Amino acid sequence: MNGATARKPASASAVSSGWKLQAVSGNPCRHSTSGPLPASRQARSRPLARIQCGVNAGDIMSASICCGRPYTSGPLASRKARPMIKQRLTELVQEPEKLVDLTWPYLLQLALALAIFFIGKRLAAWLVQLVRAAMRRAHVDDTLGDFLGNVLFGLAMTVVVLSSLHQLGIDTTSAAAVLGGAALAIGLSLQQQLSSLAAGVILIIFRPFNKGDVVEIGAGIKGVIEEIKIVHTRLRSFDNREVMVPNASITANTITNYTTRGTRRIDLVISISYGADLLRAKRVLLEIAGADPRVLKAPAPTVAVKDLSPNALDLSMLSWVKTADYDAVRADQLEAIKLRFERDGIPLPSSSMEVTLKQPPASSGASA
């Protein structure tokens, strides 16, 4: 043969087995000119070759799949490959057992992924119910319990979804990296909202005020607490306006709670003229405080001299009342003091200015 090695003709079994035999024994691609595949690549291509290359020796579609080449490369892109593809699909339809053999592994993976998703979802809901029940037994606020339960459910569902995708053969490492990057971006863009969320957790845990309390936040926000949420707190002002205050602003300012204590002290400063009878004025003020049944007997009301101002004598009147009666009793006391002082002739000071005009002395020439 002139030094050439004679090729051994393929047997009938080799021809009938087609690319399946070639994929196991050597290069599965007839049109490949690069020689036999390396051992590592042959090992990776064998499972796919056994599944998808069990066709006749002229099936170019299966050969391209086994080589890992795209459908648009080589002879597959030509029009001559289309009849072969159509023929292969027709064979699969006519022989359902082959179609079942091809699709069964994927259907099994899909079924397992769905089972992981639904069972995991049910377990996550059950776990959240246990956590919420434990928080109720520990007398934790319902708002905080609902928030923590939702966070726990979201984390559990993230793990369930990633597990389902992994069962389908999807690389979850890249998905976890994408989720981490998205969480970082969201955290940077929502810094103020997240700070309000953390402040809401602090307010719910430590409870500096409750629903219905009269509070003053900072120096300008005063009203009745209507609702405490995880991000903001809703107040009702005394002129019936609804005020939404971010929780971060609440924790960053001074909080004055007027309702925490059951009683409050009314501090009034009454000024009288220096010409008025001091002892009589003190006696009248004590009578006014003692005549009101809403004023508490203990501690007893007191009246004392507070200051000697340039234009008046300042008296301090102190009386204790219940917190709910504070505004009404204070207004009634001021009205009663004004009417009683007018009736008893106790003068109240008034702002006045005394102007003295001096006549310049007449000149000697003018007198002559």
Domain-terminating residue out of 189, 211, 239:
189
4 in any annotated domain: no
Q: Give the C-alpha separation, 281 to 354, whole Å.
A: 26
Same domain, 89 and 48: yes
Same domain, 318 and 275: yes
Same domain, 118 and 181: yes
Same domain, 143 and 175: yes
CATH number of the domain where residue 182 is located: 1.10.287.1260
8 in any annotated domain: no
Domain-terminating residue out of 131, 165, 189:
189
Same domain, 18 and 83: yes
Domain-terminating residue out of 77, 94, 111:
94
Same domain, 32 and 68: yes
CB 243 within 8 A of CB 236: yes
2 in any annotated domain: no
> Distance from CA of residue 201 to its chain's centroid?
10
Expressed as residue numbers, the domain containing 240 is 202-257
Same domain, 286 and 314: yes
The pLDDT profile of the chain, 368 residues, written as one tens digit per residue, is 444 444 444 444 333 333 333 333 344 444 444 445 555 444 444 444 443 444 443 444 444 444 444 444 444 445 666 777 777 777 767 777 766 677 778 888 888 889 999 999 999 889 888 888 887 887 777 777 777 788 788 888 888 888 888 888 877 777 777 777 877 777 676 677 778 888 888 888 888 888 889 999 987 889 999 988 888 899 999 899 999 999 988 988 999 999 888 899 999 999 999 889 999 999 999 999 999 999 999 999 999 999 998 889 999 999 999 998 999 999 999 999 999 999 999 998 876 666 777 777 766 555 54
1 in any annotated domain: no
pTM of the model: 0.51
Number of domains in the chain: 4
